[in-house]
């Protein structure tokens, strides 16, 4: 019985030791948000990496286009400040 418990525990331990990683923009969005991207945004590029640790650690990079209303709601909801000093956001 102890062997079965040890084997089961080792299986769960090893199954949780693999990172989640993608360079597909839509899949990166889904890993991050848990949902499909809304129709108001167009995903251009994206990367996602989640470490295999027991704590939630991830990196997300998304380049997207959105309509003004969606973006304004995102900024307001998350209390973001827009950095516009010396940036070329159209590049």
pLDDT of residue 18: 80
pLDDT of residue 59: 93
pLDDT of residue 9: 66
Taking the domains of the chain in order of start, what are their residue ranges?
18-77
pLDDT of residue 82: 80
Q: Over its length of 91 residues, how does the chain's per-residue pLDDT go in tens digits?
A: 888 777 776 666 665 678 889 999 999 999 999 999 999 999 999 999 998 877 788 899 999 999 999 989 989 999 988 877 776 666 5
Tell me how crowded residue 71 is: count the other CB atoms within 10 A of its CB.
Answer: 16
Q: Are 58 and 50 in contact (CB under 8 A)?
A: yes
Task: Give 25: exposed, middle or buried? Use CB within 10 Å, 0-12, 13-18, 19+.
Answer: buried
pTM: 0.66
pLDDT of residue 73: 92
């Amino acid at each position: 019985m102890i062997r079965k418990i040890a084997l089961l525990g080792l299986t769960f331990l090893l199954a949780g030791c693999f990172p989640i990683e993608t360079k597909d923009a839509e899949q990166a969005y889904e890993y991050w948000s848990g949902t499909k991207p809304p129709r108001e945004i167009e995903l251009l590029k994206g990367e996602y990496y989640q470490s295999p640790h027991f704590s939630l650690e991830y990196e997300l990079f998304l380049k997207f286009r959105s309509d003004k209303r969606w973006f304004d709601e995102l900024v307001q909801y998350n209390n973001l400040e827009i950095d516009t000093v010396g940036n070329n956001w159209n590049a």
